[in-house]
Amino acid sequence: MLENKGRTELSSLGEFGLIKHLTQHFEIVNESTIKGVGDDAAVIDHKDMVTLVSTDMLVEGVHFDLSYMPMKHLGYKVVTVNLSDICAMNAMPKQITVAIAMSSRFSVEAIEELYSGILAACTNYKVDLVGGDTTTSHSGLIISVTSIGEAKKEDVVYRNTAQEKDLICVSGDLGGAYMGLQLLEREKSVFKENPNVQPDLDGNDYILERQLKPEARIDIPILLKGLGVKPNAMIDVSDGLASELFHICTQSEVGCELYEDKIPLDPMTYDRAREFNLDPTVCALSGGEDYELLFTVPLSDYEKVNNHPDITIIGHITDKNSGMNLITKNGLSAKLKAQGWDAFAKS
């Protein structure tokens, strides 16, 4: 992107001039992209593949806080969280569209920073920006991203097809993004009380990156295919482990047993949770924004996934009448509660 020098008002470029300015560095990399930005609509040809489409909207003050979220990181994050939905269907993302609404409080340079993050994500995940829209907002920054992916029809995995005796697996580790958010919110509060105090963020790079610059697990569908494993059901962990497991169990009409001592936690996540007087397990169950993949596989695939460094077996699927249960570290069974993010929940 161009260097940011001074402040250029959005009105100086106009809508079409701004779009041309922001998208000039995006190059087409996928054969399926016939026509990208610059016409009335994108043209995509997936040939013998099925097309998957997912849309996410992120609203300032609800989904992100610009007091500690750099615009470039925000641009990267809005893309990756959307690509994660395509990965959760066992598919490969190929294209995105981006629509933004912004007020005159933002300069061209600020929006250019946002798009530099979008460009970085597109480059990293090899997806094409093929369209979008810009308009005016009177209530902060609003960003809507639509991702388009492809897969063979027989490879697509849904939430509602988990089977009894399936193993419940998850990629990576959980709770880190939530603890990164807690740290940022704490330092924001300190700064509001005393603007002369600099944020104390040293030594917390991992959990901060989990919150500010999450990655879509595009590698997991590729990994599973290499292992000869097709999940029976899959979902990404955006709203917390418990909430996502509820989605799978409810839609598949099954129950589950989730083992507390099997839930993967990074040591930094565990230590910071204790410092904040939080239960690390609760952070993993209800924190959200980890964007790991939660999936079930047949029991016959145990040897293929067991002890794999990127996959942890955390439980198994049971019959519907058994309910959804958490087996605690001391061996007791407790009803699993989904307390993750709910966009319309009362404060």
pTM for the whole structure? 0.88
Tell me, what's the pLDDT at 259? Answer: 98
Cα 146–chain centre separation: 13
Does 172 share its domain with 300? yes
Boundary-marking domain end, from 154, 181, 213: 154
Confirm whether 345 is domain-assigned.
Answer: no
Q: What is the pLDDT of residue 192?
A: 86
Is pLDDT at 1 greater than 50 in this prediction? no
- Asked whether residue 211 carries a pLDDT value surpassing 80, the answer given is yes
In this structure, of 45-49, 231-235, 284-288, 296-300, the range with the lowest mean pLDDT score is 45-49
Per-residue pLDDT, 46: 77
Nearest alpha-carbon partner for 320 in 230, 255, 247, 223:
255
* 186 shares a domain with 68: no
Q: Would 159 be classed as within a structural domain?
A: no
* CB-based contacts of 105, cutoff 8 Å, min separation 6: none
pLDDT value for 8: 73
CB-CB contact of 169 with 296 (8 Å): yes
Question: Looking at the structure, do residues 246 and 119 belong to the same domain, yes or no?
Answer: no
User: For 221-274, how does the pLDDT look when each residue is reduced to its tens digit (9 = 90+)?
Assistant: 999 999 999 999 999 999 999 999 999 999 999 999 999 999 999 999 999 999
Residue 20 sits in a domain whose CATH number is: 3.30.1330.10
The arrangement of strands across the sheet holding 293-297 comes to: 233-236, 293-297, 167-171, 311-318, 255-259, 324-327, 333-335
pLDDT reading at 321 higher than 50: yes
87's CB contacts (< 8 A; 6+ apart) are 93, 216, 217, 218, 220, 221, 236, 293
For residues 287 and 140, the answer to whether their CB atoms sit within 8 Å is no
- Check which CATH number belongs to the domain holding 267 and give it: 3.90.650.10
Residue with tokens 């292992």: 227
Among 154, 179, 200, give the residue marking a domain's end. 154
Q: Percentage of residues in the chain with pLDDT exceeding 70?
A: 88
| Total structural domains within the chain | 2
Contact of 250 with 317, CB cutoff 8 Å: no
User: pLDDT (tens digit, 9 = 90+) per residue, 60-87?
Assistant: 998 999 999 999 999 999 999 999 999 9
Beta bridge partners of 151: 50
Q: What is the pLDDT of residue 23?
A: 64
- Residue 45's pLDDT is 81
Question: Which domain, by its residues, includes 62?
Answer: 10-154
Q: Three-state DSSP class for 37?
A: strand
Which of the two residues, 44 and 180, has the higher pLDDT score? 180
How far is 323 from 48, CA to CA, in rounded Å? 40
For 76-109, the DSSP string reads: HHHHHHHHHHHHTTT-EEEEEEEEEEE-TTSBHH
| Statement to judge: residues 184 and 251 lie in one domain | yes
Is 4 domain-assigned?
no
More confident residue, 6 or 330: 330
* Same domain as 188, residue 317: yes
Q: Residue 65 corresponds to which tokens in the numbers above?
A: 């806080």
Of 277 and 36, the structure prediction assigns the larger pLDDT to 277
pLDDT at 21: 65
